[in-house]
Structure 1
């Protein structure tokens, strides 16, 4: 695979100490990630903003967030960054993933002061962006859009603002330097910390994540000093979890069409969850 941006990212990685062959780790939309040995270079979404401020937070907390090697000037107008490579969670074993460590990392993140000038966290905006793009017309897409139409106009009401990752899922964990670190700071900002718990909550509610795994994650988060969710955590989690379930389902439908295949079992389960969301609201 050759592309001018791949070549430029490869050069950036090599300038930062990367050796060996270049490998494309991720290429979807306008996001591109290239690894060269122990160094990863990333071209971010075209609409990415405030990356230096977000990278400064990561650099200041290297035991929590993976610190950047550098954030160079834009390349051909693209925001780029360079990072040490880490060992990701095994996608073939999500139930054996470090869920407790993830909960503890998020609790530590949410306890940090919010630096001045940091923008709002990106999760609610990303939900809107994904669901306002055209979806391929299909029964699954219509189910997703019906569920989306039931969400409130304001996904995140003003209130407690903590430091929030903004796009947490298992793919945002890597092992580096002897421990697990959070990566991908594109949506790091201030907001309601329940959004960082909402994707695991959505997978649990959809029937994808077993009760035992969800309980381990939530217990580890709360035991490590995470934000108090009150006597009924779902009073806080419900809307963000539903929003991210709908967003994830929409991405699954688009990906399946791009790959020319039918929906798999995991994706069908999320579509079924969307159907339950709209049915419960319209009952």
Structure 2
């Protein structure tokens, strides 16, 4: 736990209620005090881009779509920039039958429809492909770094707040098969962390981390090489789209506001930006393709998206729109890379979900035409 940062957030939240640590990871720290949530953003996020994203979230065109912040940025606080938000109850992780799939589809379609040229500032690119590239860079770093030392496990923190989603749920992912969907990546309940920094990790009781699984890493890197260059963030897309995108959509990014039972809103602006809207459909599409999301839930999500005239996929009743194929494959590889980094840095061991991810990467790597599957452009 980053004690100094948590203490500073608790000080900033005084007067709103008894502070409670909700999330404390390398990429994000969140403290809730009563009806207020303070979020210390990832170190990679600079103040200029964050400030633009906060202004967009507060813009009237986003009312009822994105949760609006309570003011601008604070900081730096212990080297991190902090935003303040109203609390909203997240999706309950223990009630999957009540998950708001149709509402999620409606919200993301409405976000995509917001005219970017009417927003106050030029937005940065949506971070989806860049996040995938960071995961691969982190995996490559584990293959060249000396053995790391990591802190002993710490006690779990409280349940999730408005901008963190449900507690971690290690869901599976597999490769989307051509031509019909075989089963792809599932929606993860928490945002993927930033790559672990090089060098020893902090902690009072370090212990040796396991060596990286080089054979598994090689499979992931071969699957990565099969993806189009635009999905790897290597070059612009041949026919780019530049719509307002969330960049990291999953059910953990929805809260009710006002609490306790107001309408659903999207949260987390860290990856908000302009880009390919189909990227925002990758996780729920992948969950359907892997069988982790029932077909009825994926159909409800798509129905909500299409009813709101979302531009990422064509109208109709196709449950595997070709536009989601490449983003879903890319997310599969990204999640597998993250899992290997976590294992190599001693964050957590590989589990059954991760082995399914690696098997999916093997299928992607073995595809005859993995660089341009149907739906790619």
Give the TM-score, by structure 1 length.
Answer: 0.89
Partner of residue 142, structure 1 = 218
Matched, 1:10 2:98: no
Match of 1:84 in 2: 86
Alignment of structure 1 residues 55-70 onto 2, 5 Å: 55-60=54-59, 61-70=62-71
In structure 2, do the counterparts of structure 1 residues 167 and 2 end up closer, same or farther at CA, with 3 Å as the change threshold? closer
Give 1 or 2: higher helix fraction.
Answer: 1
| Other-structure match for 1:32 | 29
Which shows bigger deviation, 217-226 or 93-102? Answer: 93-102
Larger Rg: 2
TM-score with structure 2 length normalisation? 0.68
Provide the residue aligned with 1:161 in structure 2. 242
Inter-partner Cα distance in structure 2 for 1:46 and 1:281: 39
User: Shift of residue 256 of structure 1?
Assistant: 5.0
**Which 5+ residue runs of structure 2 have no aligned equivalent?**
143-211, 371-377
Listed as ranges, the gaps of 5+ residues in structure 1 are none
Indicate how the Cα distance of structure 1 residues 85 and 139 shifts in structure 2: closer, same or farther if over 3 A, else same: farther
Name the residue aligned to 1:126: 131
Residue 234 and residue 138 in structure 1: after superposition, are their counterparts in 2 closer, same or farther (change >3 A)? farther
Change (3 A) 1:237 1:67: same
- In structure 1, what is the equivalent of residue 321 of structure 2? 234
8 Å CA contact 1:119, 1:190 repeated in 2:
yes
Deviations 1:37-66, CA, capped at 9 Å, x for gaps: 221111111111311111111112231111
Aligned residues: 279
Give the conservation status (yes or no) of the 8 Å contact 2:226–2:365.
yes
C-alpha distance in 1, partners of 2:278/2:249? 11
- Kept in 2, the 8 Å contact 1:54–1:118? The answer is yes
Q: Are the aligned partners of 2:278 and 2:312 in contact in 1 as well (CA < 8 Å)?
A: no
Tell me: higher relative CO, structure 1 or 2? Use CA pairs within 8 A at least 6 residues apart. Answer: 2
